[in-house]
């Protein structure tokens, strides 16, 4: 279960998700880090509603673990964590 404080959500398994609107989402577990590109979404009046997160662009961890690819099982876990974290943050989420 994720808990939120500001733009950061954490869970009991050591996952930390930090949202930098219109820039990237940082996904961190232990010493492994991803910076996932994202962009803000707005409604028809221009009011911010959340983020589109481009998880499909992620292929490997940030250095020094850049040689470790991310398999489908790990992507599914990251996706699940993002959905839960964005819910705790009360941010809208679209995955692309």
pLDDT in tens, 83-95: 999 999 999 999 9
Task: Count structural domains, the chain.
Answer: 1
DSSP letter for each residue of the chain: --EEETTEEE-TTSEEEEEETTTEEEEEETTEEEEEEEEEEE-TTS-EEEEEE-GGG--BPPTTSTTSB--HHHHHHHHHHHHHHHHHHT-EEEE-
pTM score: 0.92
In percent, the amount of the chain with pLDDT more than 70 equals 98
Q: What is the pLDDT of residue 20?
A: 85
Domain with 44, as residue range(s), is 3-95
Query: Average pLDDT, stretch 13-27?
Result: 91
Q: What is the mean pLDDT of the chain?
A: 94
């Amino acid at each position: 279960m994720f808990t939120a404080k500001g733009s950061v959500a954490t869970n009991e398994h050591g996952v930390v998700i930090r949202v930098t609107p219109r820039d990237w989402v940082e996904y961190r577990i232990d010493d492994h880090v991803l910076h996932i590109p994202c962009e803000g979404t707005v409604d028809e009046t221009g009011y911010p509603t959340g983020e589109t997160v481009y998880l499909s662009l992620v292929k490997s961890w940030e250095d020094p673990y850049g040689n470790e690819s991310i398999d489908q099982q790990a992507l599914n876990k990251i996706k699940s964590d993002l959905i839960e974290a964005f819910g705790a943050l009360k941010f809208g989420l679209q995955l692309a």
